[in-house]
Amino acid sequence: MFKSAAFFEKESCPKRNWKSCAKEKMKILIGSDHAGYKLKEELKRYLESSGYELEDYGTNSEQKVDYPKFGYVVANNVAKSGNKGILICGSGIGMSIVANKVKGVRAAACHDEYTAKVAREHNDANVLCLGARVLKEGEAKKIAKVFLETSFSKEERHKRRVDEIKNLEKKC
């Protein structure tokens, strides 16, 4: 269903040209439950204006829904496509639990710019989970920006740890 998209790498895209490179190289898969719907819509506008292509997997209103189905469909498509994902629920925790059930997904519930940065640099996280009830819109935008702009460090210790996680997935 999805074409594989190349990951954004700072080395392959000079900062002065970041918006055009982001648009060409990275598709963001996004989803939420009812609690995260408003924040999802705000993040979509922000990310599209920053040059990202988005695929929205719902929900499409504030009508109460169960978050696992939305978290799963985004995570599953992230694992298949190589794109990054953003999931939003009330706390960010429920979505991260669901997303981490999918082989190949490393979802991180981030609550500030630092956690977003290290989730990417140290853990090669590919799904950002946000809590709409605990973050202000401006904070969420900053967190998403840092998450999407930060590359995996590729330092040996971080590569080794991510490989350990991948090996654990094979045992499950």
- The string of pLDDT tens digits covering residues 40-66 is 999 999 999 999 999 999 999 999 999
Question: What's the pTM?
Answer: 0.86
Catalytic residues: 89, 122
- The string of pLDDT tens digits covering residues 65-114 is 999 999 999 999 999 999 999 999 999 999 999 999 999 999 999 999 99
- The string of pLDDT tens digits covering residues 115-127 is 999 999 999 999 9
What would the DSSP string read from start to end of 38-68?
HHHHHHHHHHHHTT-EEEE----SSS---HH
* Strand ranges, E, within the chain: 27-32, 53-56, 84-89, 107-109, 127-131
Which domains, and CATH codes, for the chain? 10-171 (3.40.1400.10)
pLDDT of the residue at 14: 45
